Structure 1
Amino acid sequence: MSHLSEPVHGYAEAPGGASAGGAASLFRKIDHGLSVGVEVVAGLLVLVEIVVLLAGVAARYLFHTPLVWSDELASILFLWLSMLGAVVALRRGEHMRMTGLVSRVGPQARSLLECIAITAPIAFLALVLYHAVDYAMEEQFITTPAMEISNAWRASALPVGLGLMLVAALFRLLRVARPRTVLAAALVTGVIVGGFWAAGPVLKPLGQLNLVIFFVGLVAANVFAGVPIAFSFALATFSYLALTTSTPLLVMVGRLDEGMSHLILLAVPLFVFLGLLIEMTGMARAMIQFLASLLGHVRGGLSYVLIGAMYLVSGISGSKIADMAAIAPVLFPEMKKRGAPPGDLVALLSATGAQTETIPPSIVLITIGSVTGVSIAALFTGGMLPGVVLGACLCFVVWRRYRNEDLSHVERTPGREIGRLAMVALPAILLPFVIRAAVVEGIATATEVSTIGIAYSAIVGLLIYRQFDWRRLKPMLIETASLTGAIIFIVGCATSMAWGLTQSGFSSDLAAFMAGIPGGAYGFLAISIVAFIILGSVLEGIPAIVLFGPLLFPIARAAGVHEVHYAMVVIFAMGIGLFAPPFGVGYYGACAISKVNPDEGLKHIWGYVGALLVGLVIVAAIPWISTGFLAR
């Protein structure tokens, strides 16, 4: 994941002495107060969501008295959490974006693009805010079924969140750039917005050519300029609807609401928090130490441990950044002592990020289930074995590279010590199985099961590992809210964009094109692999699947491809795109976590990428790997 740059200038103080300094001080105080207030409320909402859903599970399973209002309250609070989390992410510069071009230009151009990455969202927020208020007012006439309150209590999260994002973005401009650069960025943004508005009468008669102008040209220009992906989608959709159709713009706000309000997406913040929790309680470290004791004396053994540890940890956290951050600091120092090149370590870490994308409870799996209607339980079951296949392919490359490694200085761990470490790691290793069993046995839904994992991890951390830093809870809750806001806001904006494409007739044209591809199911899978590798490198996994999943999954079914099999293929394809340089931002995330220069990994990663492609072809060619364990 790439972020907006961190503050570099502070609040600019214009000439004018004490009055200018006093204004800057006032701005700082307002900015800080707004930041603290939003972060505290967003963090509390994460905590309340955990309590509400856990109470729902306990009431239904232990006391056989379901709380009819729990899901509805969780849904209302989730929209507020997502919007306030998006505010936190915007202020911190943590919305996902592509920085490949921005990082390669000169300092002045980079500074201007960094400012445009803020002024472009400001333009969208200013344009859409009125329509969000209008949408919330329309919702006040609808009453919720369980709690019997006005739906405006939920829908108000949209105008409040968008308004706070606008304020946060304006303060961010004051904080990160010089006045001259801000003025230039605002002028460029204003000229582009004004130019499109003036061209409206010319654009409207162009028909479906507008799809290329807005959803290819405008999106690509924004993405490559470093504008956050969510706002790139939102700007293109708003502009297309406003300038070329007669659709009321509050409809776009409604689609944004719809995309962000799937209750299944509530699993995202809960699994992100769970990933942070297992790292804080020492569960991740216990698993890795046990695996290292088993394989540390084997040539390339710690590389095999890295592959296995990513497989296990991915089955717990659901967050790829959290996975890598939990593993790299534990394994890399010892691997470097054994002479492993840092570039090879970061290359393998990046490759395992793609390999474990299908390990439940992957956030991408949850998102696919949300936007396509595919059973979450089926996706969780189908995702285990494909990850093993790609892991085996990576292990072959590790064997080839390390078959001559000198281990004369490495001592084999005694059996008694292995047994001790196994007992220590057992509670942590059991967690993925507890999560999966709870879903399969019907104890909890895919959304609720994360709360069981959180309760389990907290108890294990407090009573068994005796490692629970209460001071870290607040920053963990805020970090969860920020990442949730960044992810869910992308889902909402991509849902709006997908709706705009559907209304234009693009989906039927795409279906006709894909249906005409020769080769039947395998031809369809082949072109899907190529398309999603490209999409994964540019858009990242979640926005790509939200945008194209609803369009392509029905076509896959018509072509005779099982929907779970198709899900595994496109997830791996997107993962390879996401973690392969030069465009894959996941690769740069792995480099940042490992503190390794990206250039060092380039000569090592292609062997691993080749192994991933071989594994993907095997998974695509043999549907049983994905569907063999599904209930008939």
Structure 2
Amino acid sequence: MTVVSEDFIVGEVSENPEARAGSSFMRPVEFVSALLMAAVVVLLMAGVISRYVINTPLVWVEEAASICFIWLAMLGSAIALDRNEHLRLTLFLRLLPDRLQGPVEATALAAVAAFLIGMLPIAYEYAYEEWFITSAALHIPNTFRVAGIPVGFTMMLGLLIAHAFRAHSLREILIGTLVVAALTAIFWVLSDQFIAIGNVSLAFFLVLIVAFGLASGVPIAFCFGLGTLCYLAFASYVPAYVMIGRMDEGMSGVILLSVPVFVLLGCLLDTTGMGKTIVDFLASILGHVKAGMSYVLLTSLFIVSGISGSKVSDMATVAPALFPEMKRRGNKPPEMIAQLATGAAMADTVPPSIVLIVLGAVAGISIADLFASGFVVAIVLLLALMALARWRARKESMGGVRRAPLKVVLQLLVIAAPALVLPFIIRGAVSSGVATATEVSTIAVVYALAIGIVLYGGISYRTIYKMLVDTAAMSGAILLILGTALSMAWAITQAGVGQTIADFAANLPGGVFSFIAMSIVIFFVLGCVLEGLPALVLMSPLMFPIAAGFGMHPVHYAMIVVVAMNIGLMAPPIGIGFYLACRIGNVPPDDALRAIWPYIMALVTGLVMIAAFPWISLSVL
């Protein structure tokens, strides 16, 4: 399986396991990761049953799940590295002459290796020191939990070395190693000067070095980590040991337990065909009107997103089911891609949005409030996209299109009903406060698994195992980004940059309106360059306190920045979501480039309304 964009590599999984760097070695790691993922679901479900069924909470469940979680994150990161599924920018790399691409990629690998080598002794020291901290419920040393960090780093280093010698010549490896070693030596010699110039060195390491790493093809997670480690080691008196604690915090927050569970739910949605049943039902009731299939496409993304929480899963579920019929009716592929990409951006605030879960964890905002507000915000954006689709379809050919018979509609409703119920269970339970996002995600997975086995053709053990491994890899890639981004955000905050930005924002002409405009531009650009989660984790600790200083409600501000970020994510020529949509729909990006901009502007119009009228975001709280 391959998911590769023109300018980003999102994942490149070889169909031949032997072609991967650590295929034989990674099989037992994948097996352990699958067990850990299953254990997380079982433990969380046991907690739900003990809390709500037998009314006797199991206090140790959360700690046991947390231990499994950090190991899952680190082993999953290693699997993602083996599969080349860590997000990295390749736009600038491809612009280089062929003779330079190999040495530059080898240098990127050497940079990642340098980060891992630098972190390993610190990670082992951190695990050793945690031996003296005992968990509250299980009464075991915390080392059993955090030992996953050095073990994961060690495995990633071994895989990286194996991949380097498999993919590059010895000459390229030597060039890359010498470049990284030379830069390290220069930074060490100039460390006193870096400390003396203060925040200028912060900009050098956390902006220029990170940007250079991104341009060279270093995965985003490692760019953040490398920039932060270099800053702490060469430009500050803060021990690099602190960075491990921030990474641990970023990867193992209890609220983040719902992330891999919702990722697994997205896999179940795709595998069982539950998403397709929803699409078929919507097509039967909307497909006969002008722009009807566009309505179905956008509405399907809205509903399906309420189950999976994943943009990639949403697009991969909806596109194959609808694109053939849309082409038959005369819809042009570029227009379909534009609707698919912007529809996925619109639906990213529909619960259970992984972006909103992470934002709630990082910014300390109620996830129930974010879910309730996100649902309303998504409706506003949906209406904007549907209005544009209707106007552009005014000349659509409806020859031969017939309304589906009522009997067929009812049959499809019966088939889709178990799947249609799921998003409302998730949304209602979290928004009403009946259950947490983590508890609801677990219930949803068990429900989807049972429905898939009983009503949707069953799921083989091999398929379940593959889903568990895929979930571990995707979750590991996400959580490593969160860990390194949080450590980078901490370094920026400690250097006083947050106060500098706050002072700058406070002195902007126009006050809060200028701050909102500045926030939209910042998150739009970061959405293009860094993808969603890294941008939020990096900037939220800086921007949300400033928004609070202007008297903005945190949920209202959250909706503004998430929508701006999602628009940037789908905006060419850099936005990764645009290229993912092109890949899924098998349309060249050059063909879709012009078609997407009217839909981007429709989303911008919706964003302006959301920013200008806070009651849109806050009316349901």
Normalising to structure 2: TM-score of the pair? Answer: 0.96
Which of 362, 365, 369 aligns to 1:378? It is 369
Q: Which residue of 2 aligns with 1:548?
A: 539
Deviations 1:79-113 (A, max 9, x none): 11101111011111111122221233332333333
Q: CA deviation at 1:7?
A: 8.7
Distance change in 2, residues 1:347/1:557 (3 Å) = same
Distance in 1, matches of 2:458 and 2:95, equals: 43
**Counterpart Cα distance in 2 of 1:409 and 1:618:** 39
Q: CA deviation at 1:205?
A: 1.0
Bigger mean CA offset, 485-494 vs 183-192: 183-192
* Structure 1 residue 159 corresponds to structure 2 residue 165: no
What letter corresponds to residue 91 of structure 1 in structure 2? D
Q: Does 1:252 align with 2:239?
A: no
CA contact (8 A) 1:385 1:626 kept: yes
Cα distance in 2 for residues equivalent to 1:332 and 1:469: 28
CA distance in 1, matches of 2:107, 2:589: 26
Gaps of 5+ in 2: none
Partner of 1:15: none
Distance 1:118 1:429 in 2: 45
Whether 2:311 is the aligned partner of 1:320: answer: yes
| Deviation digits for residues 150-187 of structure 1 (CA, Å, limit 9, x no counterpart) | 00101111111111111111111122233333333223
Q: Which residue of 2 aligns with 1:20?
A: none
Q: Deviations over 1:412-460 (max 9, x none)?
A: 2112111211121111111011112222444421112111101111121
Alpha-carbon distance in 2 for matches of 1:272, 1:167: 27
Counterpart-to-counterpart distance in 2, 1:482 and 1:90 = 8
Give the secondary-structure state (helix, strand or coil) at the position aligned to 1:448: helix
Aligned equivalent of 1:3, options 6, 9, 17 = 9
Secondary structure, counterpart of 1:3 in structure 2:
strand
Number of the residue aligned with 2:570 = 579
Q: Does 1:310 align with 2:320?
A: no
Of 180, 183, 188, the residue aligned with 2:174 is 183
**Greater displacement, 79-88 / 551-560:** 551-560
In structure 2, relative to structure 1, the CA distance for the partners of 1:7 and 1:198 (3 Å cut) is farther
Structure 1 pair 566/4, CA: closer, same or farther in 2 (3 Å)? closer
Q: Is 2:202–2:235's contact at 8 Å kept on the other side of the alignment?
A: no
Q: Residue 199 of structure 2 aligns with which residue?
A: 208
Bigger mean CA deviation after superposition, 599-608 or 433-442? 433-442
State the Cα distance separating 1:468 from its structure 2 match. Answer: 2.5
Conserved? CA contact 2:21–2:166, under 8 Å: no
Q: 1:165 to 1:135 in 2, by over 3 A?
A: same
Within 5 Å, give how 1:467-482 maps onto structure 2: 467-482=458-473
| 1:277 matched residue in structure 2 | 268
**In 1, are the aligned partners of 2:369 and 2:431 still within 8 Å (CA)?**
no
Secondary structure at 1:437's aligned position in 2? helix
Judge conservation of contact 1:439–1:445 (CA < 8 Å) in 2: yes
What are the superposed Cα offsets for residues 184-239 of structure 1, whole Å, 9 maximum, x if unpaired?
32232222223222322322211111121111111111112221111111111000
Alpha-carbon distance, 1:357 to partner? 1.6
Residue 516, structure 1, aligned to residue 522, structure 2? no
CA, structure 1 residues 496+90, in 2 after alignment: closer, same or farther (shift >3 Å)? same
Judge which range, 80-89 or 94-103, deviates more.
Answer: 94-103
User: Is the contact made by 1:57 and 1:443 (CA closer than 8 Å) also made in structure 2?
Assistant: no
Name the residue aligned to 2:213. Answer: 222
* Aligned mate of 2:42, from 51, 59, 63: 51
Displacement of 1:29 = 11
The equivalent of 1:150 in structure 2 is 141
Call closer, same or farther: CA 1:456–1:29 in 2, change over 3 Å.
closer
Letter in 2 for 1:408: G
Contact 1:7-1:175 at 8 Å conserved across structures: no
Greater displacement, 356-365 / 184-193: 184-193
Q: Which amino acid is the alignment partner of residue 294 of structure 2? A: S
| Alpha-carbon distance change, 565 to 30 in structure 1, aligned in 2, over 3 angstroms | closer
Equivalent residues of 1:310, 1:323 under 8 A apart: yes
Counterparts in 2 of 1:91-490, with a 5 A limit?
91-490=82-481
CA contact (8 A) 1:494 1:547 kept: yes
User: Which digits, 9 at most, give the CA deviation of each residue in 1:117-167, with x for residues without a partner?
Assistant: 322211100111111111111110000001000001011111111111111
- The number of aligned residues is 614
Structure 1 distance, partners of 2:134, 2:222, is: 31
1:61 aligns with 2:67: no
Q: CA RMSD of the aligned region, Å?
A: 1.8
Partner of 2:74: 83
The aligned residue for residue 17 of structure 1 is none
AA at the equivalent of 1:90? L
3-state secondary structure, aligned to 2:121: helix
Any stretches of 5+ residues in structure 1 without a counterpart? Answer: 12-24
Contact 1:60-1:66 at 8 Å conserved across structures = yes
Matched, 1:621 2:621: no
2:607 counterpart of 1:601 = no
Supply the AA of the counterpart residue of 2:438: T
Q: Which amino acid aligns with 2:296?
A: V
Q: Is the 8 A contact 2:368 2:432 kept in 1?
A: no
The one-character-per-residue Cα deviations of 1:35-66 (angstroms, maximum 9, x if unpaired) are 11211111111111000000100111000010
> C-alpha displacement at 1:4, in angstroms?
7.0
Mapped pair 1:610 → 2:606 = no
Partners of 1:283 and 1:175 lie apart in 2 by 41
Instruction: Name the counterpart of 2:494.
Output: 503
Structure 1 residue 314, shift from structure 2 partner = 0.8
1:4 and 1:114 in contact (8 A); partners too: no
Q: Counterparts of 2:581 and 2:73 in 1: how far apart (Å)?
A: 26
Report if the CA contact (8 A) 2:13-2:85 is conserved: no
By how many angstroms is 1:520 displaced? 3.0
Pairwise CA distance, 1:116: 3.0
Identity %: 46
Q: Which amino acid aligns with 1:510?
A: I
Is contact 1:230–1:490 with CA below 8 Å preserved after alignment? yes
Contact 1:280 1:467 in 2 (8 A): no
What is the alpha-carbon distance in structure 2 between the residues aligned to residue 490 and residue 591 of structure 1? 25
